[in-house]
Structure 1
Amino acid sequence: MAKKNQPEQAQLEAELNFEEAMNQLEEIVSHLERGEVPLEQAIELFQQGMQLSQLCGRKLSQVERKIEMIVEEDGEAVKRPFHSPEEGDLLG
């Protein structure tokens, strides 16, 4: 089974948003976990799942880079990267 080439991957990325890709990935995982598919189909589904997983990872990375908080600091607006609560206090 051939890997998807770059134009096909770019088209997939343009066509699916994060939620759609995650839904498709969850369906594939569920299908594989049931174990009711022939080996060749399971391999194809696994490859599709890996592509969707990578797509989701890329989309999350893009979002993380975009999320910024504007913080008032010494009279100037300063952009700081967003940190989750688990990573510690943003302001301190």
Structure 2
Amino acid sequence: MAEKKATFEEQLSQLQQIVSHLEHGNVPLEEALTQYKDGIELARALQKKLTSAEKTLGSLIDDEGNEKQYEKATDDPSNNGGGNRGYGSDEKPLEE
């Protein structure tokens, strides 16, 4: 029977358990090293999944069915993530 791959949430929970266990400190050195290594592997796998999800969400499909790249929102509240167009701006969206 094929082994089920852990979900993102399950992997994140495993990582949190490892961190919590290591933070409490009463772990023999060999076990701590093994857990640290496992934690690093989990963190890398989670980061890879997040990067992949970000790329997927970063692409949009326009009305003609063409994929176009989504512009990442900035922390500047004056543009509401719409490039250089401020909130309430009369400028039309940028066309690619």
Q: How does the TM-score come out when normalised to structure 1?
A: 0.67
Gaps of 5+ in 2: 86-96
Partner of residue 50 from structure 1, selected from 33, 40, 45: 40
CA RMSD of aligned residues (A): 2.9
Matched, 1:80 2:72: no
Moved >4 Å (runs of 4+) = 75-78
Matches within 5 A, 1:27-66: 27-66=17-56
Gaps of 5+ in 1: 1-11
Larger fraction in strand: 1
- Count of residues in Structure 1 that have an aligned counterpart in Structure 2: 78
Q: How does the TM-score come out when normalised to structure 2?
A: 0.65
- Which structure has the bigger radius of gyration? 2
**The residue matched to 2:68 in structure 1 has which SS?**
strand
Partner of residue 90 from structure 1, selected from 64, 68, 82: 82
| Bigger relative CO (Cα 8 Å, ≥ 6 apart) | 1
Larger fraction in helix: 1
